[in-house]
Amino acid sequence: MKGKKNKILIQNGITYAMVILFWVVIQILSAAGHVSSLMKGLLVPLCIYAILAVSLNLTVGILGELSLGHAGFMCVGAFTGAFFTRCMEVSIPSVGVRFFLALAAGSAVAGVFGILIGIPVLRLKGDYLAIVTLAFGEIIKNLINVMFIGRDSRGFHFSIKDSLSLGLEEGGEVIVKGAQGITGTPRAATFTIGVLLLLLTLIIVLNLINSRTGRAIMAIRDNRIAAESIGINITKYKLMAFSISAALAGMAGVLYAHSLATLAATSANFGYNKSIMILVFVVLGGLGNIRGSVIAAIVLTALPELLRGLNDYRMLIYAIVLIVMMLFNSSPKAIEIRTVFMEKIRRKKSESAAKEA
Amino acid sequence: MSFLSYLISGISLGSIYAIIALGYTMVYGIARMLNFAHGDIIMVGGFAIFTVVSTLGMAPLLGIITAAAVCTLLGVTIEFVAYRPLRGASSLAVLITAIGVSYLLQNLALLIFGSNARQFTSVVTMPGLKLAGGRLSISGETIVTILVCIVIMMSLTAFINKTRIGQAMLAVSEDRGAAALMGINVNRTIAITFAIGSALAAIAGALLCSTYPSLTPYTGSMPGIKAFVAAVFGGIGSIPGALLGGIILGVVENLSKAYISSQLSDAIVFSLLIVILLVRPTGILGKKINEKV
């Protein structure tokens, strides 16, 4: 038991060390002036996608439920965070403090959404759950696109028609402008903050997995009926995993909102394609493998950008790589060939060892 | 009167969804996989017709036949190259591969045809109808779409219930292992299902682009998702369910566009899906699956 604990500790340590090393390398490179502006623009998105992948892995890999609505939670977090930052401009002048509080607010609201959506949705299974989470993501995106919120001396005004029907007084301002979204958020997100948040995400998720709660969640994944029969409260643990995952996605959303000057809910930002992209990171990194998610998110986000020289061909190459990797990883035949091959190597090794002896 | 015309165009849109949903539902029923690339096959069909009719200047009918042939070939090839090796793998792996295929088709189309929207000339030559003294006008596309949908539904039901291949499909969807023991070639049956689904996608592409005449590499993805929702709505795996789901979806979408808000129509459609699934977790006409311990 103690040996196992040590092993987990070492494994987690490697994951943390990897992220810290990545940060150190980038810091050294940028101090030496080797980081191109393209790469610099990519650093914060790398952290955002890594956080999203890790948090989605909690739902898909650890809880074992396929969710295609992760971008929806990110969207909730992003808009809550940006709205908070814009509203508190006068009362909290410090950008850093505001950003920190916005992170907390965004995660909290996304987490609450996770619970609200999770209660009805988690009753469904498999592909049905996938399509309903996809639907929720699209609904959230659509609702934000028609939402107008303004503020004047009388308080907040809300409308789903246009900014005129808010009926603002003179001097009032429109904060959320429907399809135009929120403008004027301070660009406070830096690579260091991103890495710190990624570390926070990792600490939360890795500790959750190795706790009593985490084992209960994995028991539900492996056999729901058996887990229920030994007294695990299925709904509670499912909701817990789902809402933590949502809250972390919301945090990534706040980070995203603060890396842009204008935040609008488009299908490129928060559509189902984004959710699918995050799912691809999780699956290629390995289901339930948190370190794999981080690596896959970083490599697969950087890859299309680094292939920019190939222009139109880069997404084509990405698609082919995706298909080939899935075939190589998951096809029963490929797995068989791989095991036979590994067996051969092992036999050769033991033979040569026997000869030497 | 305007309500009636919205209703009829809703049924027409729903018929397109229903034809696409058939492809989803048949493939899901037999291969137990979500074919995310199905929507992009619609787009390929659209571009095939566009090339034959608008670029080469041939007859629309020839365009539809070419598109159906291209899509059938494409569907079978995709099944053979990408999905068949993954038979027996986890459903998530198949899903991601299907997403990869979808990206591949979109980006191939992007490379060949560019990202600018192409103006699609309607393949329907039938004139529109004017009823009730000109107050209610129905376009030729609407009539043809609804008729085509009815014909497809009837012939497909007959095909599945009366022919040996159709019976084999039913058997495979019921129990793949037992079907194989009865001497049914499972791989061939699945390939035929993909062929039929893809040919239907080509027809759906022709109808979709005739009604909404703008063609881009991403034309197929949103109708594809909607049709998938329709298939789930009606009970995935069920053919009458696909028809019912498609029509309900089309009508609800069109009416909410007309009377509530065009921006919120998607949200309304998706909310309806959620409500239905919460009341009937396997869709309106879906079979209830009992869990065995």
DSSP string, A43-88: HHHHHHHHHHHHHHHIIIIIS----S-HHHHHHHHHHHHHHHHHHT
Domain positions in chain A: 1-34, 45-304
Q: For residue A163, what pLDDT is reported?
A: 67
Cβ contact (<8 Å) for B100 and A319? yes
Q: For residue B168, what pLDDT is reported?
A: 93
Chain B interface test: which of A142, A272, A289, A324 (most B C-beta within 10 Å)? A142
CATH architecture assigned to A45-304: Orthogonal Bundle (1.10)
Cβ(B200)–Cβ(B19) under 8 Å? yes
Taking the model in full, what pTM does it have? 0.86
Q: Which residues of A touch B291 (CB under 8 A)?
A: 225
A170 — phi, psi (to 5°)?
-65, 135
Distance between CA B52 and CA B183 in Å, rounded? 41
Cβ contact (<8 Å) for B263 and A146? yes
Cα A124 from chain centroid (whole Å): 22
pLDDT digits (tens, 9 = 90+) for A56-113: 999 999 998 888 889 999 999 999 999 888 888 777 778 888 889 999 999 999 999 9
CA dihedral A69, A71, A75, A76 (to 10 degrees): 40
Contact partners, residue B197, CB within 8 Å, separation at least 6: B22, B23, B24, B26, B27, B35, B38, B75
Chain A interface test: which of B77, B103, B287 (most A C-beta within 10 Å)? B103
Cβ contact (<8 Å) for B34 and A127? yes
Which of B85, B278, B282 lies nearest to residue A120, judging by beta carbons?
A: B278
Distance between CA A46 and CA A191 in Å, rounded? 9
Q: For residue A93, what pLDDT is reported?
A: 78
Which of B104, B264, B273 lies nearest to residue A146, judging by beta carbons?
A: B264
Cβ contact (<8 Å) for A330 and B89? yes
Q: For residue B118, what pLDDT is reported?
A: 84
Contact partners, residue A242, CB within 8 Å, separation at least 6: A59, A63, A65, A67, A114, A115, A118, A122
A182-183 vs A262-263, strand pairing mode: antiparallel
pLDDT digits (tens, 9 = 90+) for B187-197: 999 999 999 99
Tens-digit pLDDT string for chain B (293 aa): 688 888 988 999 999 999 999 988 888 888 888 888 999 999 999 999 999 988 888 888 888 999 999 999 999 999 999 999 988 888 888 888 998 999 999 999 988 988 888 888 777 777 777 776 667 778 888 888 999 999 999 999 999 999 999 999 999 988 888 999 999 999 999 999 999 999 999 999 999 988 888 888 888 888 888 898 898 888 887 888 899 999 999 999 999 988 887 888 888 989 988 888 888 877 888 776 665 55
Q: For residue A94, what pLDDT is reported?
A: 82
Cβ contact (<8 Å) for B104 and A319? yes
Q: For residue B203, what pLDDT is reported?
A: 92
> Which conformational region is residue A354 in: left (phi greater than 0), alpha (psi within -120 to 50 degrees), or beta?
alpha
Q: For residue B115, what pLDDT is reported?
A: 82
For B70-128, what is the HEC assignment?
Answer: HHHHHHHHHHHHHHHHHCCCCHHHHHHHHHHHHHHHHHHHHHHHCCCCEECCCCCCCCC
Which of A139, A145, A276 lies nearest to residue B270, judging by beta carbons?
A: A139
Cβ(A285)–Cβ(A293) under 8 Å? yes
CA distance A320 to chain B (A): 7
- Type of residue at B91: S
3-class secondary structure, A148: strand
Q: For residue B87, what pLDDT is reported?
A: 86
Cβ contact (<8 Å) for A135 and B274? yes
Which of A60, A127, A138 lies nearest to residue B266, judging by beta carbons?
A: A138
Q: For residue B289, what pLDDT is reported?
A: 63
Q: Looking at this predicted complex, what is its ipTM?
A: 0.84
Cβ(A16)–Cβ(A199) under 8 Å? yes
The H or E element spanning position B54 is none
CA distance B68 to chain A (A): 24
Q: For residue A173, what pLDDT is reported?
A: 75
- Which residue numbers in chain A have pLDDT < 50? none
Residue that is written with structure tokens 């979109």 in the block: B106
pLDDT digits (tens, 9 = 90+) for A185-209: 788 888 899 999 999 999 999 999 9
Distance between CA A225 and CA A219 in Å, rounded? 10
